[in-house]
Chain A
Amino acid sequence: MSAPNPLSDAQLAANFADIAPPLTHDAALLEANQCLFCHDAPCTIACPTHIDVPAFIKKIATGNLRGSARVILEANPFGHSCARACPVEVLCEGACVLNDRDEQPIKIALLQRHATDYVLERKLRLFQPGPSTGKRIAVVGAGPAGLACARDLRRFGHAVTVFDAKPQPGGLNTYGIAEYKLKTDVALAEVQDILDLGVELKSGVTIDSLEPLLAKYDAVFVGVGLGSTKRLGIPGEDLPGVIDALTFIEHLKTHPYRDTAVGRNVVVIGAGNTAIDAVTQAKRLGAAAATIVYRRGEADMSAYHYEYELAKRDGCGFRFNAAPLRILGNGAVDGLEVRTATGTERIPCDMVIVAIGQGSPALTWPKDHPKVFVGGDCANGGAEIVNAAADGVQAAARIHEMLTVRDGR
């Protein structure tokens, strides 16, 4: 468990390289020119932020990359990270009409990355804060929901202060997305773009109650995400070598790769998308074996099909219908006892990663307070970056409407 990582730096870097490398200029043009430019396009409908996908793709085809990025980021302040981490197979690309022509869909995510990389690399400022309204809004949580809300509130001209418990802003974008999908520097650059609109950020501040904020601000947006990973509630859970998935991934994303401890024989308990992120990254860190153990069957997995396929391609194992009973070990993990259809069985392992979902957030908020708005994981129970961004954008519009309509402006 504590042995030095067997992989070279070069091998580790290759293992965590972008799973979907960027398109070359020529490949992007070729792809953009395949788009049919649908009217009332299903891809746009499928996107929670309703990015005008045909419009941004057409602009790539004409060489108007700045305009293309603006179409994307106007609708979705997290267009950079969504281009890398969105489950497009079940959203825009899954809705592409070319699927019905028995063809591959347009590579919307890669085209979106092509356009947004253009402005990110050149540090082009696409948006400006609106003229000051004198209104002040507190945003709790600097994840995609909170910062999407903050971005649009600044564009409306409101003053925004964002509170976040972590040292770095970005929420799960910074700390929780699989490294091979989204790198921390991209996540932070995207966040910086928003902060540069004049958002005040108070990092390392845990908000325990909304009361002081409600007294001081004209509105409060709550985008705190969910709580920490749920506990299994079985013996052995506190043994060294047992870690929850979010802590494991956060460590990986905030340290040089080899500084994150990984077992030789890793078991991941759970079968959601976070469990997949954990098992694939354990494998990519150098685990000789990394296996998902799930109490129910293959068809019951909540992970997306393409994530399941990715884990299989990475050489990860799957044990279905195996309910964890106890984590075994004397001072350190050396196995997991599970109940199967035929009885109990011991699965040998030297590391257990728990990924059975997150609990509720510690913060509570009044449900029907006119000045309180909520969005992201803490409102929807845990979804994608794009859902959080959509929530934040919609909340900003509602807050703006409330503040301006109420004042009769």
Chain B
Amino acid sequence: MADLRTSFAGIESPNPFWLASGPPTNTYGQVAKAFDQGWGGAVWKTIGEPIINVFSRYGSVDLGQNRMMGFNNIELISDRPIAENLKEIAEVKRNYPKHACVASLMVESKQKAWHEMVKQTEDTGADGIELNFGCPHGMSERGMGSAVGQVPDYTCQIVEWVKEVATIPVIVKLTPNVTDITYIARAAVKGGADALSLINTINSIVGVDLTTFEPQPSVAGKSSHGGYCGPAVKPIALHLVSAVAGDPSVKIPISGIGGIASWRDAAEFIALGAGTLQVCTAVMHYGFRIVEDLIDGLSNWMDERGHRSLADFQGRALPRVAKWEDLDLNYHLLAHIDQDKCIKCELCWTACEDGAHQAIRRLPRDNGGPVVEIIEEACVGCNLCAAVCPVQDCITMRQVPNAYPAVSWKEYAAGKGKLAPRSEHFHTATWTKSR
């Protein structure tokens, strides 16, 4: 049985699955229930001077019948008194000493205010502090949240203030709403951060009501940009985690956040360097119970693959994240259609013909045989046909071996190495307008 225990910047938890700071971690009742159902840790909903929320707060992006493929919110930090939150954190730590309970903090950008907040938090017995430098909506208009996290100097300054008094680990939560997240990550490291967590939500407007022209979620006819999250943002989060984890000047642990809904997502984040995972939207959609399969699925996969602990595969994908100029130009692929599996929808043909490289030939439907075939001399191995094919493993990409050694663009442009003879995109698209 795989060992899922984690030690993250000195914070211990029975598994890497933490609830991210947000609506699911607003109260003792929620966090205690979550721990009893299997969650390894929780980052409390951000504490600061209590705010007043608007009523309409969340917006969903559905894909077909799938709800909440993307999700956004214009909710602010906790609307509960600071003392109440801290009292409940202390209660959680008393009753769940082996689980990770981290306090997320956001106060105005004054040294004294931060010192005061950090000291109060430490009195609860919390395992760590997460600095919310990421929320892109509302709080940023008041000079907090992403207003701090978008400026490296501010980030560094406030981390320094916090570290002046903190004795427990300090995690800095990064906003993706920046040109290059590594600058902010380095600033946090410079200020003395013990760990990073990313990504916070992405600036967004989820939609517009076409009857009233109100952007969503609408508050009395108006809306404000909100933080985007959910499965749709996972690829962005994976990239940013890899960028930070792969930065040689950032050598502190990373807690991965962004669209994690399954154990597969979690394993991918860990493979790109994350030490713990934080989940919010999936819990808002389906409840705390999802942790059962997060744990079970990850354990089973680790057992199958022979990974005894998370460390066995943490960061294993990182060395494979390369610059484009270092990719091998002599690695050739060819699409292969399994005609026994083909259901003759011709989606591959229309995608390749209109959307890519005109490397699939249509055959007459009435002869009873195949209706599509790959034009091998034109196929550039782009993957599009395999991506659109609705039948599992019907279209596969197969390597075409050649005798040429690998050559990257960087090498080739420098006059080193030879290109293997390759299929070419012939640009054969023609069109005669019908009458």
Contact = CB atoms under 8 A, between A and B. Distances in A.
Interface of A: 29-30, 33, 36-42, 45, 61, 97-98, 100-101
Interface in B336-377: 343-347, 349-350, 362, 365, 371
Contacts of B208: none
Contacts of B350: 39
Contact of A36 (B347, B349, B362, B365): B347
A39 B349 contact: yes
Nearest to B394: A101
B64 A38 contact: no
A98 B390 CA distance: 10
A41 B346 CA distance: 8
Nearest to A26: B65
B317 interface: no
B345 A61 contact: no
Nearest to B210: A63
B65 A33 contact: yes
B321 interface: no
Given A40-B362, A42-B365, A101-B390, A30 B65 contact: yes
B65 A38 contact: no
B391 A38 contact: no
A101 B347 contact: no
Residue of B345, B346, B362, B390 with most partner-chain A CB within 10 A:
B345
Contacts of A40: 346, 362, 365, 371
A239 to B, nearest CB: 51
Given A39-B349, A42-B365, A101-B390, A33 B64 contact: yes
Chain B contact residues: helix, strand, loop or mixed? loop
Contacts of A30: 65
Chain A contact residues: helix, strand, loop or mixed? helix
Contacts of A61: 64
Interface in B272-290: none
Nearest to B350: A39
A225 B65 CA distance: 45
A38 B347 contact: yes
Given A30-B65, A33-B64, A39 B347 contact: yes
A247 to B, nearest CB: 42
Given A36-B390, A37-B347, A100-B344, 17 more contacts: A33-B64, A33-B65, A36-B345, A38-B344, A38-B345, A39-B345, A39-B347, A40-B362, A40-B365, A40-B371, A41-B345, A42-B365, A45-B365, A97-B343, A100-B343, A101-B343, A101-B391
Interface string B289-333: 000000000000000000000000000000000000000000000
A97 B345 CA distance: 6
Contacts of B344: 38, 42, 97, 100
Residue of B65, B349, B362 with most partner-chain A CB within 10 A:
B65
Residue of B343, B371, B390, B391 with most partner-chain A CB within 10 A:
B343
A307 to B, nearest CB: 27
Interface residues of B, number: 14
Contacts of A97: 343-345
Contacts of A37: 347
A98 B346 CA distance: 13
9 contacts: A30-B65, A33-B64, A33-B65, A36-B390, A37-B347, A38-B347, A40-B346, A41-B345, A101-B390
A201 B350 CA distance: 46
A97 B65 CA distance: 21
A33 to B, nearest CB: 4
Nearest to A63: B210
Contacts of B362: 40
A36 B343 CA distance: 11
A94 B370 CA distance: 19
A106 to B, nearest CB: 12
A101 to B, nearest CB: 5
Given A36-B390, A39-B350, A40-B362, A98 B65 contact: no
Nearest to B371: A40
A45 B365 CA distance: 10
A136 to B, nearest CB: 28
A39 B362 CA distance: 11
Contact of A98 (B64, B343, B347): B343
Interface string B372-402: 0000000000000000001100000000000
Contacts of A38: 344-347
Contacts of B345: 36, 38-39, 41, 97
A45 B345 CA distance: 12
Contacts of A45: 365
Contacts of A36: 345, 347, 390
B23 to A, nearest CB: 27
A101 B362 CA distance: 20
A301 to B, nearest CB: 27
Interface string B58-78: 000000110000000000000
B211 to A, nearest CB: 12
Contacts of A33: 64-65
B42 to A, nearest CB: 35
Contacts of B391: 101
Contacts of B349: 39
A36 B344 CA distance: 11
Nearest to B66: A33
Contacts of A101: 343, 390-391
Contacts of A39: 345-347, 349-350
Contacts of B64: 29, 33, 61
A40 B344 CA distance: 9
A41 B344 CA distance: 9
* A-B complex: 9 closest residue pairs judged by Cβ atoms: A39-B346, A33-B64, A100-B343, A39-B350, A38-B345, A97-B343, A97-B345, A36-B345, A30-B65
Nearest to A32: B64
A114 to B, nearest CB: 15
Contacts of B343: 97-98, 100-101
Nearest to B342: A100
Nearest to A45: B365
A29 B65 contact: yes
A30 B63 CA distance: 11
A76 to B, nearest CB: 21
Contacts of B346: 38-40
A339 B287 CA distance: 70
A37 B350 CA distance: 10
Interface string B65-99: 10000000000000000000000000000000000
Residue of A29, A37, A39, A42 with most partner-chain B CB within 10 A:
A39
A42 B366 CA distance: 10
Residue of A36, A41, A61 with most partner-chain B CB within 10 A:
A36
B346 to A, nearest CB: 4
A38 B350 CA distance: 9
Nearest to A103: B343
A45 B64 CA distance: 26
Nearest to A40: B346
